[in-house]
Amino acid sequence: MYIGALVSPTSSNTVLACGCGGYDCAVVVSIHPFLLISEAGDMLWTTKRRDDFAVVGQVGPQSAQNVLDRIERDSMASVPESTKSILRDLAFAGFAATI
């Protein structure tokens, strides 16, 4: 598991949900503590266990930007600058590919 990994629950006992619906996967933004943010950047989960998730891919450029925007909007002090740098690189990769 790594920063920028797209993860999905490994069992039906673990859900990524909010009051208005569910999510199939989320982006890892911190390992310790384990923090997940939805690809749209609209949800944050802090109470999940890392063992309950499996990596299913890597975050795409637009989702990386959405996650980064959420981190910056919420001034999430627990997210280190190195994480923000990784997400910026992933977001920029998509921008550079369109040029």
Domain ranges across the chain: 5-97
Between 5 and 78, whose confidence is greater? 5
pLDDT attached to residue 87? 85
58, 5 Cβ separation under 8 angstroms: yes
Report residue 32 as tokens: 């310790």
How much is the pTM?
A: 0.84
- Cα separation, 26 vs 36, in Å, equals 6
The pLDDT-based confidence of 97 (bands split at 50, 70, 90) is very low
How does pLDDT run across 11-67, given as a tens digit for each residue? Answer: 888 889 887 788 899 999 988 889 999 999 999 998 788 999 999 999 999 999 999
Asked whether the beta carbons of 6 and 55 are under 8 A apart, the reply is yes
Rounded distance between C-alpha atoms, residue 32 and residue 74, angstroms:
18
User: Which strands make up the sheet holding 26-30, listed edge to edge?
Assistant: 44-45, 35-37, 26-30, 5-9, 53-58
At residue 77, the pLDDT reads 66
